[in-house]
Structure 1
Amino acid sequence: IEDIQLRLGIKKYLWQEVKLGLSGVLLISLIGFRASLPLISGYVNERGLENYIEGDWSSAQSNYERALSLNPDNAEAHYNLGRLYEDLQDFKKALTQYRLAAQGGLDAAYNELGRLYIQDKKYYQAASLLLQGLEIVQKGDAETQYALLKNLGWARLEQGRYADAETYLREAIEVEKTFEQTPAAAHCLLAQVMEKKAPDNALKEWEMCLGYADVRNPDEDTWFGMARKRIDAQDKSSESTK
């Protein structure tokens, strides 16, 4: 620095002040750069999401990981990386990323954790997580609210708490009325609840399940098969009574 000051013709009695000034500028620059890291991380995460939608999962993973290296507290990036790991059938890593996203306060992450715990038959842990998610879900986020209610109804069904299951599933069905396309899951689950509580009321829900189920989804494919059996059995029963 002193050589530079000599070349610039700065008087020696000003050197200390110049050094202090340069140090201040450097410090401010570093603070500004550090403050911008979350913004840069958010941008890189968005690029990863675009890669994911385009089917370029390798680039998506690289961008999610880069976003997290810039800002380890980026809950959205943790969530997106968890979803990618789940698609890759690496459920252990998916759970880790969803947990980190939930710790960051992301309501959708509680839903994904709860759903994976249901699939792992850990119904009490699932219900606890889903209830936490419902406490923080943002108003107006109908999609996440629906998913939390539907999965909580599913957990209560598996626990044998049929009254609670019906309540949550009917709440989910109320939320789904705001959707352009009717999802099947809550109807498929409510049909199973009705079979336990009031079998005569199950057929309507099975018909909804059959009509809207997406067989590309493993759970809905299973429920689609159940709906088909129930409706076929009902049709045969009706024919035999004619």
Structure 2
Amino acid sequence: MKNDISQTILFRYADHLKNINTASTEQEVLDILAARDAVQTLLAEQEGSEHFGTLLTEINKLDQQLRTQGELVAAKVDLPAIRTGRCPDDTAWWWYFEPAQKKSAWDRLDWLWNSIMAGALALTVSFMMQIFQALSVGGLSWGETFATIAQGGGLALVGSGALTDSGKNRVSQVLANLGIKGIYLAEALCAIALILLAIVYTGHTMLPNYFYKQGESFYEKSNLTGAALKFEQGIQINPDDARFNLSLGKVHESIGNLDASLVQYKIAAGAGDPWGLNNLGRVLLFWVDPNLLKRKLDLAESYLRMALQRAETLAADKGALSDQKQSDLVDLLYQTNRNLGWALLEQKKYKDAESYLRNAISWDKQITHDQIGGGMAYCLLSEAYRHTEQAVLADKNWKKCIKKARPETIFEYKWFMEKGNSADQIYTTSIVDGITEEEFKDFLTKKAQATQSNKKYISNTAPETKEEAQ
């Protein structure tokens, strides 16, 4: 008898469920829910019976069908109103169906906002990694640490809000507190991601110039360690900016680390930068090939001629340059002429050297500030005149050398050590940190010896022409 009743209840549940569709009336849907109530009562009565397992299996199959129609049930029947009157138990899940969420026009574009957000987050992570790598060179200050944590926190907020349910709930709650509806979650996350990207990108764009200016300031103040740190940070964040390779190479060169400076100058020269070619040629004037055990002066000359050619090409169209770039170009023309003259002087091509060194002096006179490396052409021209036995001109230019020269590198200072004539009067603040006590003592000894020799040479030499006397 009980088995017949069970079958009747199940049959009625299945029959009502079979006929449900979008055309069903509210009453027909309520009949299904009432049939499910009867099934629940049946379950309670049959629990522990011989056929309870079979009964559970059949009911479970029918319940799965009902669950697939949950949104339709909620659309046909005002379930919240019925629950208020009946107060069904929480286990009566069929009375708690929710209607399908209506998709607004904004929701239809969620895929677009999510795609933009994903792209923005990817770019933000990329820029942040470069910024972190740059800031971590030499260790992070407290300010840099705070900035990094703040950016990472913003990234974590957007990422969790987009990828996890708990994150979405938190962001939705924040939006609700701000008076923004939850349907705008995707748009809000996209906006936050774009703002974060803008902040990080702005920092990524501005930091190279910041590092470069700081490095140049440190270099001018003879703080070579600080300068090298800033230039290395600049390379980390923008490895394609040849300015940092040039400046870092200059720091290494100024303390005599020629191998390290060659690496940096070659990178800049490879990019076609005339300063890179000039500085590479200048270093080769002193660098000794470990295999040949001699300098490659001809190679140095080649690089310097290329640098001068490019500088003169720029000078032909300097009207299109800004005032700052015109000033830099004048300095470049001075440097390339000076260094090429030096390369020729080292190869004992004295007449050719004189020509380029005089050109260098003419460009040097157009430089209004006391730049490091300035005035050196007078010293080199004096040496060229000495080798061509033009003593008066040699002495005249040497006096100007003492007054104007500002050696930039330790090798320029060592050149004065070797020449010896009044080297202690030359401005060398820019490189004094790179000179050891032993080198300074050696300089004093050589200076005393060479000064006596130079005085003897000048007193026994007279000018041959009126031009030379001028």
Name the TM-score, length of structure 1 as normaliser.
Answer: 0.74
Q: Return the alpha-carbon distance in structure 2 between the equivalents of residues 6 and 230 of structure 1.
A: 86
- Stretches of structure 1 that go unaligned for 5 or more consecutive residues are none
Q: Which residue of 2 aligns with 1:234?
A: 458
Residues 1:220 and 2:416 aligned together: yes
Q: What does 1:1-242 correspond to in 2, within 5 Å?
A: 1=162, 3-4=168-169, 7=173, 10-11=182-183, 18=186, 22-23=189-190, 26=193, 30=197, 33-34=200-201, 37-120=204-287, 121-137=295-311, 139-141=326-328, 142-179=330-367, 185-195=376-386, 198-199=388-389, 201-213=390-402, 217-225=413-421, 229-236=453-460
Distance 1:229 1:173, change over 3 A: farther
- Report the Cα offset of residue 41 of structure 1: 1.3
Name the TM-score, length of structure 2 as normaliser.
Answer: 0.42
Distance 1:135 1:22, change over 3 A: farther
Q: How many residues align?
A: 231
- Report the Cα offset of residue 229 of structure 1: 3.4
Q: Please list the CA deviations of residues 170-225 of structure 1 after superposition, one character each: whole Å capped at 9, or x if unmatched.
A: 211222333567965333433443455x52x3431233214523597222343344
- Report the Cα offset of residue 128 of structure 1: 1.8
Percent identical among aligned pairs is: 24
Amino acid at match of 2:252: Y
- For the Cα contact (< 8 Å) 1:44–1:66, is it kept in 2? yes
- Stretches of structure 2 that go unaligned for 5 or more consecutive residues are 1-161, 288-294, 312-324, 408-412, 422-449, 463-470
- Report the Cα offset of residue 228 of structure 1: 6.5
Amino acid at match of 2:453: K
Which structure carries more helix by proportion?
1
Q: Return the alpha-carbon distance in structure 2 between the equivalents of residues 162 and 57 of structure 1.
A: 35
- For the Cα contact (< 8 Å) 2:280–2:303, is it kept in 1? yes
- Report the Cα offset of residue 65 of structure 1: 1.6
- Report the Cα offset of residue 43 of structure 1: 0.3
- For the Cα contact (< 8 Å) 1:185–1:209, is it kept in 2? no
Amino acid at match of 1:218: K
Q: Return the alpha-carbon distance in structure 2 between the equivalents of residues 183 and 57 of structure 1.
A: 19
Q: Return the alpha-carbon distance in structure 2 between the equivalents of residues 54 and 215 of structure 1.
A: 14
Q: Cα RMSD over matched residues?
A: 3.5
- For the Cα contact (< 8 Å) 1:98–1:109, is it kept in 2? yes
- For the Cα contact (< 8 Å) 1:210–1:224, is it kept in 2? no
Q: What SS does structure 2 have at the residue aligned with 1:43?
A: helix
- For the Cα contact (< 8 Å) 1:98–1:110, is it kept in 2? yes
Q: What SS does structure 2 have at the residue aligned with 1:119?
A: coil
Q: What SS does structure 2 have at the residue aligned with 1:93?
A: helix
